[in-house]
A = this chain, B = another copy of it.
Amino acid sequence: MAQKPSIPKGTRDFSPVEMTRRNYIFDTVKQVFQRYGFQPIETPAMENLSTLMGKYGEEGDKLLFKILNSGDFVSKVDDAELHKRNSISLTNKISEKGLRYDLTVPFARYVVQHRNDISFPFKRYQIQPVWRADRPQKGRYREFYQCDVDIIGSNSLLNELELVQIINDVFGKLNINTTVKINNRKILAGIAETIGEADRIIDITVAIDKLEKIGLEKVNQELLDKGIAGEAVQKLQPILQLSGTNAEKLDQIEKVVASSEVGTKGVEEMRTLFAYISEFELQTTVELDLTLARGLNYYTGAIFEVKANDVQIGSICGGGRYDDLTGIFGMPDVSGVGISFGADRIYDVMTQLEIFPDEAIASTKVLFINFGESEERFCLPILAKLRAAGVNAEIYPEAAKMKKQMTWADRKQVAYVALVGAQEMEQGKINLKDMKSGNQEMLTPDELIKVLSKLI
């Protein structure tokens, strides 16, 4: 036999069981997005390299999967280029397209390209795979889905509220207890400005982040070691010792950043957002968290991160506000805010907690065991009626051994089997067996349809 075929490392096949669960997650997310007026778009897997290159840093450029030009690509490369043996410069000559690396850059490209057809504010979601030539490792794949929802062309903080509500609704429906951590880049900028270290936002945030792990004293030492002035570290102390409710924390921060315009603006934004949020009874906990350092180089306002409360795992959703999504394509001043759901991690959380509901596990509702031609003739019209009534139903395609058919039903996690032999046909009835409990009952075709369609 030939060698067993395989797939490229870092990629995955999804079996029916995995697909059903993944679709349960995607369908839930989509439904909530639509509930809030977001609409789907899709962009091609391949983008021009001119669209992608330079958008993810030098490292990102290397992680793009590049597509070899079709046809006799070598004929367009001159000898000098070939002799250079430089893979990077040769790539420019033999490849014009790459696979998308995320959904953000294609979205920005989409908005600029179709700007005349879009009514702003534009509320879109996009659920598609992305590809990265990362070194594959546990939980990191070369092909994975991103699940992004953004609103662009509006500065209103109502949008931030709606994203928090969306997070709440999605994880509520999925039955995952979560905490939404919210930060604001303007506050961080205000703090850095206030203590006279405007350029050191990231260092400061990273240091604050270590507070719980290493304690106040060591954090202060680290700040000094990084060259932050002693006076600045001193000014930072109220921030490092924040406590109380979100509103109380904002009061304390407000005092610290009072002299900074951007910092005050940040506090004001957070006050507005938390006031909005307080009007709703959310299942998720919402926390102001100044240690959130996610995407500090592109977010300009709110920053979000969602943690699952009951599982040790990285963030399962995150995002923030950005002021210039489309500037890279020559369309400045388009502000937006968006979040991205991590489907793979959500899947892992739900698997670990065993909280996939039956509908995300069961497949067919009922399988008719095939006992032969005349039984088949009896069953087929009933089967058609069941399907017309919206019941997922099937018949084993041949009169195989009973044991084989039952094993098949079992492995497929069919909820019920319908047994129709000579005796049942005589009575005009169906013997319906519950595969979980093993209970059986004799039903007329009409009763069968009624029982099973009630279970949809």
Q: Which residues of A contact B (CB under 8 A)?
A: 1-8, 11-16, 19-20, 23, 34-37, 39-48, 50-51, 62-63, 65-68, 70-75, 82-83, 85-87, 90-91, 94-97, 99, 109-110, 112-114, 117, 119, 121, 123-124, 129, 131, 133, 142-143, 151, 154-156, 158-159, 162, 165, 169, 276, 279-280, 329-331, 363-364, 367, 376-377, 380-381, 384, 387, 390-398, 407-408, 411-412
Contact = CB atoms under 8 A, between A and B. Distances in A.
A427 B296 CA distance: 47
Contacts of A73: 87
Taken together, the copies of this chain in the complex come to 2
B45 A129 contact: yes
A34 B392 contact: yes
A40 B67 contact: no
A329 B1 CA distance: 8
Given A5-B329, A15-B117, A85 B74 contact: yes
Contacts of A71: 62, 87
B68 A68 contact: yes
Closest 9 CB pairs of A and B: A37-B394, A2-B330, A16-B39, A11-B44, A156-B397, A1-B330, A19-B40, A70-B133, A156-B398
A143 B35 CA distance: 30
B158 A398 contact: yes
Contact of A384 (B7, B45, B280, B395): B280
- Residue in A67, A94, A113 whose Cβ sees the most chain B Cβ within 10 Å: A67
A109 B5 contact: yes
A14 B41 contact: yes
A257 to B, nearest CB: 25
B66 A40 contact: no
A165 to B, nearest CB: 7
A398 B154 contact: yes
Contacts of A397: 121, 151, 154, 156, 158-159, 162
A163 B395 CA distance: 13
Nearest to A40: B19
A68 B43 contact: no
A4 B143 contact: no
Contacts of A119: 407-408, 411-412
B44 A15 contact: no
Nearest to A1: B330
A115 B51 CA distance: 41
Given A41-B13, A363-B37, A397-B156, A75 B68 contact: no
Nearest to A280: B384
Contacts of A6: 48, 113
Contacts of A112: 4-5
Nearest to A408: B119
Given A19-B39, A119-B407, A72 B87 contact: yes
